[in-house]
Structure 1
Amino acid sequence: MQSLITTDVTPAQSTLSGLVGNTPLLRICEPLAPAGHGFWAKLEGFNPGGIKDRPGLHMVERARARKDLPPGGRIIESTSGTLGLGLALAGMVHGHPVTLVTDPGLEPSMTRLLTAYGADVDIVTEPHPVGGWQQARRDRVARLLAEHPGSWSPDQYNNPDNTTAYTPLALELAAQLRHIDVLVCSVGTGGHSGGISRVLRQLFPELRVVGVDTVGSTIFGQPARTRLMRGLGSSIYPRNVAYERFSEVHWVAPAEAVWACRQLAASHYATGGWSVGAVALVAGWLAGTLPAHTRIAAVFPDGPQRYLETVYDNAYCERHGLLDAPPPGPEVITRPDEKEVTRWTRCTEVVDPLAGEGR
């Protein structure tokens, strides 16, 4: 099987921040999509730490410009891993100590890597009774900010700089593909889906935006549950989610994401973690149901390295019942609150769960 790969290459940069951006596209087809159909994957794992190198650098640079973050001030943030890499990079570039608040679900290898990059890793030990680990991390961030005068938190869930950080990525996609009919993004903080779709909708007014969430996530109106997948989904409502731009949402279960990740690895070499598997599953299905000429762009946020002990570990997957047969197509519901979903499910009615609360 032949894969087509394209990239816009800029001259080599001599700075750390110059390593971020201008990531390649890879054409993904069989077995994720039927013969003659496919989609284009934006491989953000080619950034040093993944897609969140972009907002990590951008949010810090904007905070420094506004003087919200003084020289040498400490950066403190909650993370499930990938943004932590971006903030560690930004702290190194601009001379700021970094404290990252996470929870026991973070892979030990990621904890070691963040520590090697100079970050202090603070692990909360108990979930919040309502907001789970995510809210527990945010509460711990608030306490640390009070303990460190002159410190600053990016607040990735609500910071508009998290979305504007993805303007360059959107422009890269537009330049590489010339035209885009459908954009497929995982949704966690709402940063990259909101930032990319804002720019691309201006360039391509008929663009369809498809959000990919995880079962157990409350972002699109489902009840919050304990979630195995990290990097997408939320147990809180991030303000950066641009609900009005989504044409539909898909919820994907962990076993379904694992299947797609492993199929990508075996057929295209380029693969990644939970978000990549979920996005690839949905993008491949869309490619098979839409006309072959439809130009679909899917954002792959990272690579496979941090998932060697989870997604790509047979023992781990067997313990969690993740080595199922290929998933059938999505179940369909008409409203996000129609029922609690437990497997791949699609809904074409997207609503803001907080629309009536002055959001």
Structure 2
Amino acid sequence: MRGNRDLLDLLRDTPLARVSAPLPQPHPGFWAKLECLSAGGMKARAAVSMLTGARRRGELRPGAAVVESTSGTLGVGLAFAGQALGHPVVLVVDRELEPGMRALLQAHGARVEVVDQPHPVGGWQQARLDRVQQVRRDLPEAFWPDQYNNPDNPAGYESLGEEITRQIDHVDVLVCSVGSGGHSAGAIRAIRRRWPQVRLIGVDTVGSTIFGQPARPRIMRGLGSSIHPRNVAYGQFDEVHWIGPREAVQACRTLARQAFITGGWSTGAVALVSAWASRVHSGATVVTVFPDGPHRYLGTIFDDDYCRTRGLLDQPTATRPVEIAHPAVEVAGWTRCRIVSDPLLAVEIPA
């Protein structure tokens, strides 16, 4: 498989857009980095970084396959990186992945392996990771990027943070969704080199274990986790918010109707928190990252039947977060906590 390195020139300079749509209330506005306008999407930055790092260390041989688990977005990035660098890509997905996204991954030349049942403890993520190890046994020379624990993942997003520092005069608050932990860790590293006092707000989904919540079934994809990624830079966060699917759907639809720029679960979640941050931090410059666009969500977030069946429409949603004193308190909707710690290291608090 021959690479096409000219593609790598497409991975930069995505625009910053000013967003002032009411989410759900009026707010002063925030800036959104539109990674959906980058070839391969936001996670192409991480994918290229992980593959070039592995090639440099000799872990990925020329022409060898790349095998990884994905809920969709990283898969597009790896398909991009595989074409650019000359590596076939095998992606392990689960049956919950949208048919359109599965077709897109295959159209870009990836081989797609589908997991049919979630792991009893680790959910779909652990089931996909188990299948990755099975595929690796069949392809012994294949490289597994291990996006959740590979330091080349956040390193790939330093360019995103550097672009933000060139595009805007000042940043007071950066709002990032958290899944593998890559883009929040890499972007804040670059931005704080320029402005050390920038606050970092992490945005997770209810039912995710990343910040100490118990694992629960999750509708939202692209953020959150049923495992504990080691790329999450816990010490860099000033606070964390958990968003429920109803709030994310409302935010995505409001963006579509009143800002034209919209996206999926992560985009809705960070938009809601960014609007809140711009209200409560008077005069602050708030910046966030919209990881992808709306197209893969036309059958979910933007489909009335899908949303009504799951109780995501025609019900009241929160206009501000409930605050909890410790992340061990289980949440069910939009919630904020100003204590952020690694749940694998945290000491349990008394009941």
- CA–CA separation in structure 2 for the residues paired with 1:356 and 1:53: 33
- CA–CA separation in structure 1 for the residues paired with 2:308 and 2:21: 26
Aligned to 2:222: 231
- CA–CA separation in structure 2 for the residues paired with 1:104 and 1:255: 22
Comparing 55-64 and 24-33, the one that deviates more: 24-33
Q: 2:58 aligns with which of 33, 53, 67?
A: 67
- Deviation of the 1:66 alpha carbon: 1.3
Residues 233-252 of structure 1 mapped to structure 2, 5 A cutoff: 233-252=224-243
- CA–CA separation in structure 2 for the residues paired with 1:151 and 1:97: 9
Aligned length: 343
- CA–CA separation in structure 1 for the residues paired with 2:63 and 2:7: 18
- Deviation of the 1:356 alpha carbon: 5.7
Aligned to 1:178: 169
Q: 2:16 aligns with which of 18, 25, 28?
A: 25
Secondary structure, aligned partner of 1:355: coil
- CA–CA separation in structure 2 for the residues paired with 1:250 and 1:166: 22
Structure 1 residue identity aligned to 2:184: S
Structure 2 residue identity aligned to 1:189: S
Q: 2:100 aligns with which of 87, 100, 109?
A: 109
> Deviation per CA, 1:78-136, whole angstroms, max 9, x where unpaired?
00000000100111112211100011111000000100100011011121111111011
- Deviation of the 1:303 alpha carbon: 0.5
Structure 2 residue identity aligned to 1:354: L
Tell me if the contact between 2:148 and 2:231 (Cα under 8 Å) persists in the aligned partners: yes
Comparing 32-41 and 96-105, the one that deviates more: 32-41
Aligned to 2:299: 309
Aligned to 1:142: 133
Q: Are 1:274 and 2:265 matched, yes or no?
A: yes
Structure 2 residue identity aligned to 1:150: E
Aligned to 2:274: 283
Question: Matched residues, percent identical?
Answer: 55
- CA–CA separation in structure 1 for the residues paired with 2:20 and 2:333: 23
- Deviation of the 1:61 alpha carbon: 1.3
- The change in CA–CA distance for 1:224 and 1:14 in structure 2 (over 3 A counts) is closer
- CA–CA separation in structure 2 for the residues paired with 1:279 and 1:356: 26
- The change in CA–CA distance for 1:105 and 1:36 in structure 2 (over 3 A counts) is closer
Structure 2 segments unaligned to the other structure (5+ residues): none
Aligned to 1:5: none
Aligned to 2:319: 328
Tell me if the contact between 2:24 and 2:251 (Cα under 8 Å) persists in the aligned partners: no
Structure 1 segments unaligned to the other structure (5+ residues): 1-12
What is the Cα-based RMSD across aligned positions, in Å? 1.5
Secondary structure, aligned partner of 2:150: coil
Q: Are 1:166 and 2:157 matched, yes or no?
A: yes
- Deviation of the 1:33 alpha carbon: 7.2
- Deviation of the 1:35 alpha carbon: 5.0
Q: Are 1:354 and 2:344 matched, yes or no?
A: yes
- CA–CA separation in structure 2 for the residues paired with 1:194 and 1:172: 15
- The change in CA–CA distance for 1:226 and 1:34 in structure 2 (over 3 A counts) is closer
- CA–CA separation in structure 2 for the residues paired with 1:218 and 1:36: 30
- CA–CA separation in structure 2 for the residues paired with 1:86 and 1:165: 12
Secondary structure, aligned partner of 2:113: strand
- CA–CA separation in structure 1 for the residues paired with 2:98 and 2:40: 15
Tell me if the contact between 1:276 and 1:300 (Cα under 8 Å) persists in the aligned partners: yes
Tell me if the contact between 1:33 and 1:287 (Cα under 8 Å) persists in the aligned partners: no
Structure 2 residue identity aligned to 1:277: G
> Deviation per CA, 1:224-260, whole angstroms, max 9, x where unpaired?
0111000000000000000001010000000100000
Tell me if the contact between 2:172 and 2:286 (Cα under 8 Å) persists in the aligned partners: yes
Secondary structure, aligned partner of 2:219: coil
Structure 2 residue identity aligned to 1:106: L
Comparing 156-165 and 94-103, the one that deviates more: 94-103
- Deviation of the 1:149 alpha carbon: 2.1
- CA–CA separation in structure 2 for the residues paired with 1:66 and 1:270: 40
What TM-score results when the alignment is normalised by the length of structure 2?
Answer: 0.95
Tell me if the contact between 2:185 and 2:233 (Cα under 8 Å) persists in the aligned partners: yes
- CA–CA separation in structure 1 for the residues paired with 2:9 and 2:29: 31
Tell me if the contact between 2:5 and 2:85 (Cα under 8 Å) persists in the aligned partners: no
Q: Are 1:294 and 2:280 matched, yes or no?
A: no
- CA–CA separation in structure 1 for the residues paired with 2:82 and 2:21: 41
Secondary structure, aligned partner of 1:209: strand
- Deviation of the 1:47 alpha carbon: 1.0
- Deviation of the 1:30 alpha carbon: 3.2
Tell me if the contact between 2:11 and 2:39 (Cα under 8 Å) persists in the aligned partners: yes
Moved over 4 A (4+): 33-36
- CA–CA separation in structure 2 for the residues paired with 1:155 and 1:21: 24
Aligned to 1:55: 46
